[in-house]
Amino acid sequence: MNGTVRTARAIQQRRRPRGMPVPEDFAEAELVLPALEPGDALVENLWLSVDPYMRECMDGDWELDRPLEGRSIGLVVETQSPELPIGSLVFHRDGWRTHTVLTARDARVLPRYDGIAPQTFLGLLGGTGLTAYVALTRIAHLRPGETLYISAAAGGVGSAAGQLARLLGAGRIVGSAGSADKVRILTEELGFDAAFDHRAGPSVSAQLAEAAPDGIDVCLENVGGEHLEAAVEAMRESGRIAWCGAIAQYNMTSAPAAPRNLFDLVAKSIRLEGFLVANHRDAQTEWEEFLVPHLRSGRVTDRLSVTDGFERTVDAFLGMLRGENTGKSVVQLTPHS
């Protein structure tokens, strides 16, 4: 960086939340970036991802008053690394900040696919879509003709999984969401056969039974609690549950009472398997080869909820936790943010 001291704007966590996080749990700080050494590159962040798993990080994984972690897409603007040339778009995990200094070990230079926007690597081509792909193909082994239930179906992973399930030949796709508008999007825009608003009407179990009267074969579980209990109740013999999230309890001081019917796993020979997408990075190339043609054809849509401006990153994160997003929640950094 030619000896010039550079700084970045960053958002740090300043205290542990009690229940639902609030803006006061965060604070903006100025980071002094190190001078570039051989092998280093200066990256200007263009897109930041905010994800449900970050809520658990706030309880202890993230250090207070330190730079935070998060998926990001950035542009290499200065470099002393032949592997990270100027103009490269890179995926990395130095999120919640405007700029960072990386080495090739810390970043992936993104391939350029005609007609595919860079931010798609935070959505369907990123960890969000990969989670859905791993859940349905490696964990639950969804088969043609089967009935699939997805909780939090209008979120990033859920909306990706619904579209993927159609490509995989699912017979019936059912989702739960948090508003009537999201239910409409699922059934009218994303190809779900049925969906329900879990905040309206009777219990989740009753609504799921109505939406899938013949039961379900596979569940992609993103919520836990009452949703998981309902899935177990609706599950057919030898069903499979791929569990990757528990939004219902992220902001609770104690675990929810449900599910109270876990012994049904034994009675129905159900397999429940939790997983972390980080343990399946080897599927990334396979996923891209599968998905890119469907993105180009328009058969699959990368639905993103975009918040503009670095200064609104916390707003985007809290809004995602409240369920205000439809699809993957991302932040687009403005040129002067």
- pLDDT of 2 > 50? The answer is no
User: In the structure encoding, which two tokens stand for residue 171, read together?
Assistant: 């017979």
DSSP 193-225: SEEEETTSSS-HHHHHHHHSTT-EEEEEESS-H
Per-residue pLDDT of 15-36, as tens digits, reads 999 999 999 999 999 999 999 9
Order across the sheet with 194-197: list the strands. Answer: 194-197, 172-177, 147-150, 216-221, 235-243, 271-274
- pLDDT of 149 > 90? The answer is yes
Instruction: Give me the phi and psi of 303, to 5 degrees please.
Output: -85, 115
Fold of 6-120+302-332: Quinone Oxidoreductase; Chain A, domain 1 (3.90.180)
Task: Name the helix (H) or strand (E) containing 231.
Answer: helix 225-234
Task: Yes or no: say if 31 and 97 are a contact pair by the CB < 8 Å rule.
Answer: yes
Per-residue pLDDT of 276-325, as tens digits, reads 999 999 999 999 999 999 999 999 999 999 999 999 999 999 999 998 99
What pLDDT, on a 0 to 100 scale, did the predictor assign at position 113?
Answer: 95
Per-residue pLDDT of 225-252, as tens digits, reads 999 999 999 999 999 999 998 887 777 6
Q: What is the distance of C-alpha 85 from the center of its chain?
A: 29
For the chain, domain boundaries: 6-120+302-332, 127-278
* Average pLDDT value over all residues in the chain: 94
Residue 49: name the closest of 91, 9, 11, 95 by CA: 95
What pLDDT, on a 0 to 100 scale, did the predictor assign at position 258?
Answer: 72
Residue 148's SS3 state is: strand
CATH number for the 127-278 domain, one of 3.40.50.720, 1.10.1740.10, 3.40.1160.10, 3.40.50.300?
Answer: 3.40.50.720
